[in-house]
Every structure is written in structure tokens, then in C-alpha cells.
Chains A and B, each alone.
Chain A
């Protein structure tokens, strides 16, 4: 049994400042059901990950090196009780340094980088650690409102131990002036919860002479050791 989703960290379906929710948010509230084997199990045998896929500065080279500022992004995947979540798949995708996705529907007028796909994946180790080497993504404009810009971010997808712990989210960078203006980040109800989406600069993670380091821990739902009564 997993602890409930945190009310402060769960965005609403309909959030007026984020226009795409208008026609896509369900109109009725979710129906709460008790967890069964269908929710307490989940994908565990996902296809293996090649080692090179955590290094986005190398995994899509077409003869050169990606443009931009090299960074390390690392941290731990933990549950709410601080227990590491080992051997779980972590997938990321992001823009290149110029703020452009290598995706056919990204119409932003910024250069593509032939040496950078912006995709990576890895598995956490026994202590729940993950580590990516990449370049810092750029901010990009979007059509949500006049002069709307997404802050630089990296998309993350995690499974954790069960269907109930599935998480797709975004990591932001500290000190970005766009953070307070972003409807997607502001959709998270709690201020402390929003702060949990912002990585911390870390000199420990920084590689001398090579790449600045950012540290970001991801916290999934914890487990009740014994199922609550009722």
C-alpha cells in the first residue's frame, strides 16, 4: 500500500492560466478506489538500457560535439521515507542549448543541433542514484499567452516500484527569472512543492574543467509498512 498523493504537490486538472487544460481537463472529479494488486504492481521488466544513454553529449553525435554549456544532472530517487528506489528507469528529454526540440512539431525558429537529440535514459543504482551528462537546455516561446516563454527545463519520466508511483514531471534550474511566470510550474498548489521541482547548483557534482553540476532528488510516494485499517 502506498501513501496518498500529496495535495500540495498535485496540480489540478483545470488550470486557467494553462490554456491547453481548457478542452482536455476532465470535468468530473476522480473516483477514489482502494489499492489492489493492479495498483501495487507495475512494470518491472522494462527493456535494458545501454550504458551510453546517460551521456547526452555523446549519444547522438553526428561527427561533432553538441553546442552549449555542458552540465551534470544527478540525484537520488527516494520514497517519502527517504528509502532509495533502486533499479528504476529514469527517462529524460529536453531542448538543445538554443531552446529547440528535435521533434517535428517544434516550430520554434532556433537552430537544431545535429549532434544532440536531447534524449537520455538510465537506471538508478542500489542507492537510488542517477546521473546524466547533458547540455543546459534553453528557454523557448510557446503560444499559451502573449510573450509566453517556458523556463529552461528537463522532462523526467519515472516508474518507481508500482503503477501507483508513476511520475512524469519537469526539472527546472535555480535563479531562472521565468520560473515565477510559468503557468505549468505555477499549477502546483504548494510553494514548497514548487520549490521541489527546482534543482540545486552543486559544486560537489560539478566536474572540474568540464561541466557545472546540478543536484535534484526525486521523491515518489512512500509505502505503509502495514496497510491502514479500513
Chain B
């Protein structure tokens, strides 16, 4: 089927969007706009507060932190979204076609978290395994995070690595792309050992602006 506005080529036709012809430009991306302050009842809740419901295979962890603004005040109207691999390092997505890591039952890898009046958020999940990087590289276990809030015109993308994975972190290609003094801003810090079945607790604060501001990524 051909969409008139974009003139997409059928198989065997010349692609009218081909750069060499310099004709119809590609339709532009729809711009980002702020999530504003009034999203919470539409987006939060709805059973999406953990990537790994209880019973999913892996080490239970809790990641706690606060979202703070440039004055150090809590951001009480932020939303954090989490996307992570399972304990074997497999993403629950059709593009992850690896056969050496399996999908785990109820694990789906996605969560949405709000912040409270003190800017606090809390993630209950399993610790992700290492995942493939580009080429033959291997990435250290990490959580992919995005932050939305009033005052953020575009969402901010960052990652949380784990302080008890020093060797994997040292070999991680994304951390290697970051100025060494800023790498610590991407590390969730293990707070004291707990005994099973209590989860391991990590601390990861997100200062949107100023000293200690985490590295935000674009990709």
C-alpha cells in the first residue's frame, strides 16, 4: 500500500525518497514537548511499577534515589522509566534474537516510577545480566533510564550501573566514552549487604543540573 503523503516506493519501484534524487524530503520527526505536571493519573500505576514481578528468576534488588533540581530541591513531579535486560542479560524484545540467553516468564523489563514530595523514587526488580555491546564488546549490567518532568522539553536518557561490578564496569564501552571524573555519576551504590530474601539496595540520585549531574546520553 502506498501512502500518498510520503510516496513510499513499492518493491521494484525507485525510492522517491532516495537522497540521490534529492526530491521529496523525508517527513520530519514529530518534535518532543514537555510531559508537563499533569500526567500522573494517566500514565502511572496501571501495574507497570516493576520490570520483574515477584517470582521472576534473578537476584532481587531495590534501587532508591531522589530527583533533585539545580537548587537541590526535590522534583516531585518527575516520571522515570526503566528498561532493562533480565538476569541472563536478555531483553524481552523481538530484536534480541540471541539463543544463548533466554526469556524469563513474567519478566518484561519495563517500569514507570513517579517521585514523591521529597523527590524520592523506588524501583523493585532483579539485577540485569551483562548484555552485548557493539561488535564483540560486552556491556556491564545496567538499567536504562529516562527522566520526564515539567521543565524538561525533551526526556533525558541515562544509565545506572552497579558499584559491585567494578571489573565489568571497567570494561564497559559506554562508560569508557565518558570522562573518567563523571563516571561515578552513572553508578548505583550498594548500601550495605542484606541477606536473602531481602533485596540488595542501591542508591542512585538524579541531579538534573549542576554538581553531580549524571551524564545524559543521546543515541
Task: Return the contact of A31 from the options B34, B139, B210, B217 (Cβ within 8 A).
Answer: B217
Q: Which residue of B lies closest to A159 (CB)?
A: B110
Q: B111's closest neighbor in chain A, by CB?
A: A43
Q: Among the listed B96, B216, B219, which residue makes an inter-chain contact with A34, where contact means beta carbons less than 8 Å apart?
A: B219
Query: Given A91-B42, A162-B95, are A36 and B134 neighbors across the interface (CB < 8 Å)?
Result: yes
For A30, give the chain B residue with the smallest CB separation. B218
Interface residues on A, range: 35 or more
Q: For the complex, what is the distance from the CA of A5 to the CA of B85, rounded to whole Å?
A: 24
B211 to chain A, nearest CB (A): 9
Contact indicator B133/A11 (Cβ below 8 Å) = no
Contact B42 A93 (CB under 8 A): yes
B32 & A37 in contact (Cβ 8 Å cutoff):
no
CA–CA, A40 and B131, complex, Å: 12
Find out whether the CB atom of B31 lies under 8 angstroms from the CB atom of A10.
yes
Task: Establish whether residues B208 and A26, one from each chain, have CB atoms under 8 Å apart when the complex forms.
Answer: yes
Interchain CB contact under 8 A, B216 and A105: no
Interface of B is mostly: loop
**Contact (Cβ within 8 A) A46 B110:** yes
- Per-residue CB contact flags for chain B residues 178-219 toward chain A (1 = under 8 Å, else 0) read 100000000000000000000000000000111001011111
- Is the pair B32, A169 in contact by a Cβ cutoff of 8 Å? yes
Task: Tell me if A91 and B132 are in contact (CB < 8 A).
Answer: no
Interface string of B7-19 (1 = CB under 8 A from A): 1100000000100
Give Cα A37–Cα B91 distance, bound, in whole angstroms.
Answer: 8
A38: chain B residues at CB < 8 Å are: 83, 85, 91, 131, 139, 142, 144, 159
Check A169 against B96 for contact (C-beta < 8 Å): no
Q: What residues of chain B lie closer than 8 Å to A184, measured between beta carbons?
A: 33-34, 153
- CA A78 – CA B3 in complex, angstroms? 10
In the complex, A83→B15 CA distance in Å? 13
Q: Roughly how many angstroms separate A31 CA and B216 CA in the complex, as a whole number? A: 6
- Measuring CB to CB, which residues of chain A are less than 8 angstroms from any residue of chain B? 5-6, 8-13, 15, 18, 20-28, 30-47, 76, 78, 80-83, 91-93, 101-103, 105-106, 117-119, 127, 155, 157, 161-164, 166-170, 184-185, 187-188, 190, 192-194, 196-197, 217-222
Can you show 26 pairs from A to B with CB atoms below 8 A apart? A11-B32, A13-B154, A18-B34, A21-B152, A23-B73, A25-B151, A27-B210, A28-B215, A33-B174, A33-B219, A37-B91, A78-B27, A82-B6, A91-B43, A92-B42, A102-B41, A117-B41, A119-B41, A157-B35, A157-B43, A163-B144, A163-B146, A166-B155, A169-B33, A196-B28, A197-B30
10 more CB-based (< 8 A) A-B contacts, given A30-B157, A38-B139, A157-B35: A18-B151, A23-B208, A24-B75, A30-B218, A37-B131, A45-B92, A78-B27, A119-B41, A127-B1, A170-B34
- Hey, which bits of chain B sit against chain A, CB under 8 A? 1, 3, 5-8, 17, 26-43, 46-48, 69-71, 73, 75, 77, 81, 83, 85, 91-96, 108-110, 131-134, 139, 142, 144, 146, 148-157, 159, 174, 177-178, 208-210, 213, 215-219
